[in-house]
Amino acid sequence: MSHSPFHRSVASRLLILSALVLPLLYATGATAAPTRTTDRAGTIDRAGTADPAGTAGTAGPAATGVPATVDADGTARFTRAAGPATDPARYWTARRLAAATPLDETAKTAAATGGARTPLPRPDAVVRYATGEAAPAAAARRAVQLNESITVGKIFFTNSTTGAGNYCSASVVNSAARNMVFTAAHCLHDGPGRTWHTANWMFVPSYRDGARPYGSWSWSTLAVPSGWVSTRERQYDVGVALVIGSRSVVDAVGANGLFTGGGRTYHYDIFGYPGNRSGGEVQWVCSGTSSDGGSNRIEMGCPWGGGASGGPWYYRYDNSTRIGDVHGVTSYTNDRDNPSYIGSPYFSDAVVGTLYRTYANRTW
């Protein structure tokens, strides 16, 4: 099975693929469909403006020792004070971007409490096609060639526990305030007794090899389910960041829809920046069918390591607009050194729907 990254045209910075795109497969049968929580938003301006080259700057605001504010709706949040803040784009120089390491998460803790697991299906398609690379004959009949999702990008931050420069994956989700990014909770908060990863936090949609083709965004509010802060259980490993920049992130790259509820077995196209593929410098995708992982989790065969955390699980993906409907986020892999599957929290309305509705209208 071959895994290769997307190809991007150097001249336009936009992905241009002319090969045949095969129809995507979706779940059929008796499994109930999930419920749409929000519609997608089309891209208003795809051109974007690249950020100027960053220069060494001072560290951004940290949240060391700051407790989570727990709202009555069961979410925990940290909102920074309004006013000027250090631009993380200046902190993240080319050297620091290259030195950032993936935030590793394995399923060992979840597996210890999740009981017996059903065998995982292998991915039925993996996007490949690096520049000049031909499709392997064995995979050609089942390969689905997808365009890069421009709403998917990387989050960079200074780890509040270790002080290391880390990164995760994330995607833009449509909201009334047009400022919401979905990722994994562990990419925002380190769990019980610890705090928020706020220092030098930056989101770069469509990141590739150090480039910021649409610019970058800092944060105003980070939010996770309160269950994550108190237990760190994988079923709560989803979070949102409200982002701020020179313009709305939705105006810049568009936004995905959001689905909650439904079953545990669907076809997904999962996007992210796994550190064990191309050093995490380009977007990758696994396509396949999920299975029930127990303990309100779903899993799918995909050999991705750290860095993919927070990337979207698309229940549906439109290859022409390059946006889709999110129904999961990568939370963990089964093994740091030899991964074979990844998992997501089950997107229940009680957890994910509540998280979304609580912050969909907030501008700060």
Strands 284-289 and 125-126, by their bridges, are antiparallel
* 114 has pLDDT over 50: no
Domain borders along the chain are 35-359
* 268 has pLDDT over 50: yes
Confidence of residue 154 (pLDDT cuts 50, 70, 90): very high
Q: φ and ψ at 167, to 5 degrees?
A: -145, 155
In the sheet with 332-333, reading across from the earlier edge strand, the strands are: 291-294, 297-301, 341-345, 332-333
* 93 has pLDDT over 70: yes
pLDDT of residue 82: 59
* 98 has pLDDT over 80: yes
* 175 has pLDDT over 70: yes
* 136 has pLDDT over 60: no
Q: Looking up tokens 């065969």, which residue turns up?
A: 301
Instruction: Please compute the mean of the pLDDT values over residues 318-346 and round it to a whole number.
Output: 94
Confidence of residue 104 (pLDDT cuts 50, 70, 90): confident
Angle at 50 between CA 14 and CA 97, to 5 degrees: 95
Matching CATH number, 35-359, of 2.40.10.120, 3.50.30.10, 3.20.20.370, 2.60.120.260: 2.40.10.120
The pLDDT tens digits for 198-250 are 999 999 999 999 999 999 999 999 999 999 999 999 999 999 999 999 999 99
Averaged pLDDT of the chain:
77
The pLDDT tens digits for 239-265 are 999 999 999 999 999 999 999 999 999
The answer to whether 26 touches 266, Cβ cutoff 8 Å, is yes
Strands 101-102 and 165-173, by their bridges, are parallel
Single-letter residue type at 176: A
The pLDDT tens digits for 45-87 are 322 222 222 222 223 333 333 445 666 567 888 887 655 456 8
The pLDDT tens digits for 21-52 are 222 222 333 467 888 877 777 533 322 222 22
pLDDT of residue 336: 83
Instruction: Please compute the mean of the pLDDT values over residues 276-289 and round it to a whole number.
Output: 94
Q: φ and ψ at 135, to 5 degrees?
A: -70, 135
Instruction: Please compute the mean of the pLDDT values over residues 162-166 and round it to a whole number.
Output: 95
Confidence of residue 130 (pLDDT cuts 50, 70, 90): very low
pLDDT of residue 57: 29
* 288 has pLDDT over 90: yes
Instruction: Please compute the mean of the pLDDT values over residues 297-315 and round it to a whole number.
Output: 96
pLDDT of residue 79: 80
pLDDT of residue 42: 55
Burial class of residue 188 (count of CB atoms within 10 Å of its CB; 0-12, 13-18, 19+): buried
Helix %, strand %, coil % for the chain, to 5? 15, 30, 55
- What is residue 276's three-state secondary structure? coil
pLDDT of residue 38: 72
Segment among 114-123, 139-148, 239-248, 264-273 with least mean pLDDT = 114-123
Structure token digits, residue 183: 């990722």
In percent, the amount of the chain with pLDDT more than 90 equals 62
